[in-house]
């Protein structure tokens, strides 16, 4: 039975049994405690916790999931996967064990011709939690499972939670017996390789607190209702029903695996090590396709890091398998999309963007891999030469920070060469970088309030009615007040406050459009300055600001007024992004998809997927096209449609954005048709003018254009015109001849700088003779320990040291150690002649002594080595340390 048919049967069975079929949620979790969705119940978590009222009493779904906790086990076992699909049926207080258990057994054992999965009951075993007598009784008496086929297990095996605070409860699992060739008899407690879990029935009735992952956590109390959450692993069941040994050989992943074997010239089943790598590739390529399709882009943080990590593991395994640098991901991506399209038809619509993102990452990582591998090799060789077995944390950090090497890749490469990595030092350097880079994201999003507080406000006040498409002000009721992260009955002058209204004209930041600002006025009693509006959970508008005067009290009627000047300026920017998007697609093709935007008063930025820069000429063409269109005074029409209708009419959806059943379509003739919830100008002529300010890369395969709109664009052009006029006057050159004149001046300036640099370097070398004369004997060697002339660069220092060494000859051991302080960073270079090296005096050893005194490190060859540090005041101490070491030698 094909995987797609298994999913169809599951949904059909539970739909016939009164469950609402719910489409899979995005892999990007809405829950702020999670990065990606790791389990089928995650989209329903607010219902289980009683934070929100479910729109249905029972549900069923096929949920996309990602787990990276066990990524090192992928390919090594028969069941671990990064991306997997969880079939589930859910009850939100409607039914419990007595119905969930028989339903599961019925579907699993009903013959195929009658709509079930047709598994022989004699192949099935059941486990229950240690003290769950009720579940065991249902299995025995209502379902008819023999007592000897039911085993009790402890909390680690048969008690479910997500590993974090939230819902939990005992569970009961169904296992499939693969047969004696896979292990010993005795049921799941004897051998979980032979008896594999296919379905987990969670009897969710408690809420857990902070604590251990699977055990050791406190039970905080009962959930508002007893719920059912079941999880049937689609890939595991496919392996059982298709009669294959593991999930990698099923109809979907197997297609990617075998094509990877063909492309790399290997054969699955020949060698265990090769098989593991092929399984990793099959799993990771499919995972990457699904992540990109849900809007994730490769990056160095959060979900982007997960994607980059699995893509780079795939690329490296493919290159190890094939023995060359061929680019293979494009074809494997194509195979994966084709294999998954029956379950997720939208993959076909997103194929161009998916290919674009993955192809770009592969090309970029090819360069990264070459440069990074060379750096790794040099660092590993230094480690071995020094007699060590630990790859330094600073080298691992440089690989990550400069070359984009995930730490996991460095760990794998080090392990292959018999080295460990100083992970503690690496993590410390990473944390320092993160601390330095922290911005205002924390203050801007969820503030100090817990997400559950907003859920309670939504439950009590209901969704906020947004009036801002037509109204700039409204009379509204205060439905919630938050001060200092907790609900409050009132807020007074000077206090920072968050206010929930029953209806509002204020636009909440979303879709790249910044929030409105304005005021909330309580007649004769108080004024609140609204500085930001956010939607921490769907449907709830939270107005953030400061009570300017008086007070605001729960249930007050307020006059809500937005700053219309700011709103209109933002509308012009937002409408301009739609025009720029269309112009970019016309210039670059449909793969130039939107990857983010920010629309603020008078200015915008627009991020798009592209492998290459636009270049000045094409950027000018895009700008000209946009201004030609907006000058045509095209009416901007907005209309609400069903998502299906909108997509059929060709409306573009922002990649990775989540849409409901009803969407707003923004049309600018047939030039631009997009799904968008933002506010817009009534006609393109209102934009005035759009001036593109520049284009740049912001990440792998993602570029950014920035633009000024309306009055801001005019001001920018006016300033540029004035600047050109000043240059023309100062250089006594007509405007149209300025580029040639400036090019000529820059060329002459660079030539002069090179000549000055030659003269300066010559002056430094003139000191070589006097420096050589200062050589003194330390032990068996002549030693020069001196500082270079002021102004010497690192390159100058190296040249000077070699010159001085040459002047001292080869008759006896010679050591030349010199320091310089370019850009306030001390550098030391040490050179030894052949006689010194024969005597066991090596530059690579000595430079470590000097660099440690400078508060840094270094390395090199026996004849010449270089190091550096952070403390310029220690250069004399560093030179003395070298003299002492040579004297001791």
- What tens digit of pLDDT does each residue of 810-843 get? 889 999 999 999 878 899 999 999 999 999 999 9
Name the residue among 279, 286, 271 with its Cα closest to residue 329: 286
Is 578 annotated to bind ligand?
A: yes
Top mean-pLDDT range of 90-99, 201-210, 456-465: 90-99
Least confident of 248-262, 324-338, 693-707: 693-707
Kind of pairing between the strands at 150-153 and 124-129: parallel
Name the residue among 592, 571, 573 with its Cα closest to residue 581: 592
Compute CA distances 250 → 243, 244, 255, 257, 327, whole Å: 9, 7, 8, 10, 25
- Tokens representing 453 are 């507080």
In DSSP notation, 233-290 reads EHHHHHHHHHT-SSGGGSHHHHHHHHHHHHHHT--TTS-HHHHHHHHHHHHHHHHHHH
Residue 532 has pLDDT above 90, yes or no: yes
Q: What is the pLDDT of residues 730-782, one digit of tens each?
A: 999 999 899 899 999 999 999 998 888 788 777 777 888 889 999 999 988 99
Is 171 annotated to bind ligand?
A: no
Is 574 annotated to bind ligand?
A: yes
pLDDT > 70: what percent of the chain? 95
Least confident of 359-368, 847-856, 857-866: 359-368
Rounded Cα–Cα distance for residues 327 and 319 (Å):
9
Higher pLDDT, 166 or 441: 166
Q: What are phi and psi of 707, to 5 degrees?
A: -150, 155
Helix 234-242, helix 251-264: angle, nearest 10:
80
Q: How confident is the model at residue 92 (pLDDT cuts 50, 70, 90)?
A: very high
pLDDT, position 213: 66
Least confident of 153-157, 169-173, 417-421, 710-714: 417-421
CB 643 within 8 A of CB 659: yes
Is 65 annotated to bind ligand?
A: no
Residue 449 has pLDDT above 60, yes or no: no
Q: How confident is the model at residue 593 (pLDDT cuts 50, 70, 90)?
A: confident
Compute CA distances 686 → 276, 379, 431, 636, 794, whole Å: 60, 59, 47, 10, 57
Least confident of 287-296, 398-407, 498-507: 398-407
pLDDT, position 442: 41
Residue 496 has pLDDT above 80, yes or no: yes
DSSP-derived 3-state class of residue 819: strand
Average pLDDT over residues 614-632: 91
pLDDT, position 326: 80
CB 534 within 8 A of CB 448: no
Q: How many CB atoms lie within 10 A of CB 829?
A: 29
Residue 240 has pLDDT above 50, yes or no: yes
Q: How many CB atoms lie within 10 A of CB 408?
A: 15
Average pLDDT, the chain: 88
pLDDT, position 700: 62
Average pLDDT over residues 221-230: 88
Q: What is the pLDDT of residues 547-592, one digit of tens each?
A: 999 999 999 999 999 999 999 999 999 999 999 999 999 998 887 8
Helix 351-385, helix 272-293: angle, nearest 10:
130
CB 310 within 8 A of CB 288: yes
Q: How confident is the model at residue 438 (pLDDT cuts 50, 70, 90)?
A: very low
Average pLDDT over residues 23-37: 85
Place of tokens 């039911």: 150
Q: How confident is the model at residue 539 (pLDDT cuts 50, 70, 90)?
A: confident
Compute CA distances 161 → 29, 203, 451, whole Å: 17, 11, 19
């Amino acid at each position: 039975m094909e995987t797609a048919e298994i999913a169809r049967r599951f949904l059909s069975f539970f739909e016939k049994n009164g469950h609402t079929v719910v489409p899979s949620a995005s892999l990007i979790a809405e829950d702020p405690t999670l990065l990606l969705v790791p389990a089928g119940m995650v989209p329903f978590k607010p219902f289980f916790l009683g934070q929100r009222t479910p729109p249905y009493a029972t549900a069923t779904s096929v949920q996309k999931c990602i787990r990276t906790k066990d990524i090192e086990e992928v390919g090594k076992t028969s069941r671990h996967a990064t991306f997997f699909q969880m079939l589930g049926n859910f009850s939100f207080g409607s039914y419990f064990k007595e119905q969930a258990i028989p339903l599961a057994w019925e579907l699993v054992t009903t013959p195929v011709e009658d709509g079930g999965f047709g598994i022989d009951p004699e192949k099935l075993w059941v486990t229950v939690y240690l003290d769950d007598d009720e579940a065991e009784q249902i299995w025995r008496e209502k379902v008819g499972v023999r007592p000897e086929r039911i085993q009790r297990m402890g909390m680690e095996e048969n008690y479910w939670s997500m590993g974090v605070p939230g819902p939990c409860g005992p569970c009961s699992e169904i296992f499939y017996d693969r047969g004696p060739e896979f292990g010993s008899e005795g049921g799941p407690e004897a051998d979980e390789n032979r008896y594999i879990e296919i379905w987990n029935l969670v009897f969710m009735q408690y809420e857990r607190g902070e604590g251990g992952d699977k055990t050791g956590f406190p039970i905080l109390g009962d959930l508002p209702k007893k719920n059912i959450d079941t999880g049937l692993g689609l890939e595991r069941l496919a392996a059982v029903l298709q009669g294959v040994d593991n999930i990698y050989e099923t109809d979907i992943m197997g297609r990617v695996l075998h094509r990877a074997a063909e492309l790399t010239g290997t054969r699955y089943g020949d060698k265990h090590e090769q098989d593991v790598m092929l399984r990793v590739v099959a799993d990771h390529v499919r995972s990457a396709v699904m992540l990109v399709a849900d809007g994730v882009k490769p990056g160095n943080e959060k979900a982007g890091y997960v994607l980059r990590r699995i893509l780079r593991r795939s690329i490296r395994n493919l290159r190890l398998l094939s023995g060359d640098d061929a680019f293979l991901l494009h074809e494997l991506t194509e195979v994966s999309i084709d294999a998954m399209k029956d379950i997720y038809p939208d993959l076909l619509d997103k194929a161009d963007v998916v290919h674009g993102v993955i192809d770009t990452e592969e090309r970029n990582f090819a360069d990264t891999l070459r440069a990074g591998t060379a750096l790794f090799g040099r660092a590993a060789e230094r480690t071995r030469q020094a007699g060590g077995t630990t790859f330094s944390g600073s080298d691992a950090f440089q690989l990550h920070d400069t070359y984009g090497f995930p730490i996991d890749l460095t760990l794998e490469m080090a392990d292959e060469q018999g080295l460990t990595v100083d992970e503690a030092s690496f993590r410390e350097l990473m944390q320092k970088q993160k601390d330095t880079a922290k911005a205002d994201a924390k203050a801007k999003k969820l503030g100090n309030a817990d997400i559950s507080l907003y859920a309670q406000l939504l439950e009590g006040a209901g969704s906020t009615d947004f009036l801002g498409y037509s109204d700039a002000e409204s009379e509204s009721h205060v439905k919630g007040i938050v001060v200092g992260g907790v609900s409050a009955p009132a807020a007074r002058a000077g206090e920072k406050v968050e206010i929930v209204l029953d209806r509002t004209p204020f636009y909440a930041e979303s879709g790249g459009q910044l929030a409105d600002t304005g005021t909330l006025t309580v007649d004769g009693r108080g004024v609140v300055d609204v500085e930001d509006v956010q939607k921490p959970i769907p449907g709830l508008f939270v107005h953030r600001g400061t009570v300017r005067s008086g007070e605001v009290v729960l249930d007050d009627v307020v006059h809500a007024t937005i700053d219309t000047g700011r709103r209109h300026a933002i509308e012009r920017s937002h409408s301009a992004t739609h025009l720029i998007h269309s112009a970019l697609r016309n210039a670059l093709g449909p793969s130039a998809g939107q990857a983010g935007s920010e629309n603020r008063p008078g200015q915008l930025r627009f991020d798009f997927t592209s492998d290459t820069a636009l270049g000045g000429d094409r950027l000018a063409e895009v700008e000209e096209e946009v201004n030609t269109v907006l000058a045509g005074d095209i009416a901007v029409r907005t209309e609400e449609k069903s998502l299906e209708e909108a997509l059929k009419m060709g409306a573009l959806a922002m990649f990775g954005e989540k849409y409901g059943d009803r969407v707003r379509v923004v049309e600018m003739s047939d030039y631009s048709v997009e799904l968008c919830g933002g506010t817009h100008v009534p006609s393109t002529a209102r934009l005035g003018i759009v001036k593109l300010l520049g284009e740049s890369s912001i990440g792998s395969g993602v570029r950014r254009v920035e633009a000024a709109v309306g009055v801001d664009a005019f001001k920018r052009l006016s300033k540029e015109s004035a600047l050109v006029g000043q240059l023309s006057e100062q250089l006594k050159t007509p405007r149209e001849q300025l580029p040639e004149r400036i090019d000529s001046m820059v060329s002459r300036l660079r030539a002069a700088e090179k000549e000055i640099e030659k003269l300066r370097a010559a002056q430094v070398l003139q000191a070589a003779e006097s420096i050589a004369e200062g050589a003194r004997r330390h032990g068996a060697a002549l030693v020069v320990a001196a500082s270079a002339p002021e102004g010497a660069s690192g390159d100058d220092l190296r040249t000077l040291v070699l010159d001085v060494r040459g002047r001292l000859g080869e008759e006896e051991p010679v050591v030349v150690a010199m320091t310089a302080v370019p850009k306030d960073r001390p550098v030391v270079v040490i050179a030894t002649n052949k006689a010194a090296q024969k005597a066991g005096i090596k530059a690579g050893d000595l430079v470590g002594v000097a660099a440690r005194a400078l508060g840094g490190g270094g390395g090199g060859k026996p004849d010449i080595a270089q190091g550096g540090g952070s403390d310029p005041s220690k250069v004399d101490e560093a030179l003395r340390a070298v003299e002492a070491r040579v004297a001791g030698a």
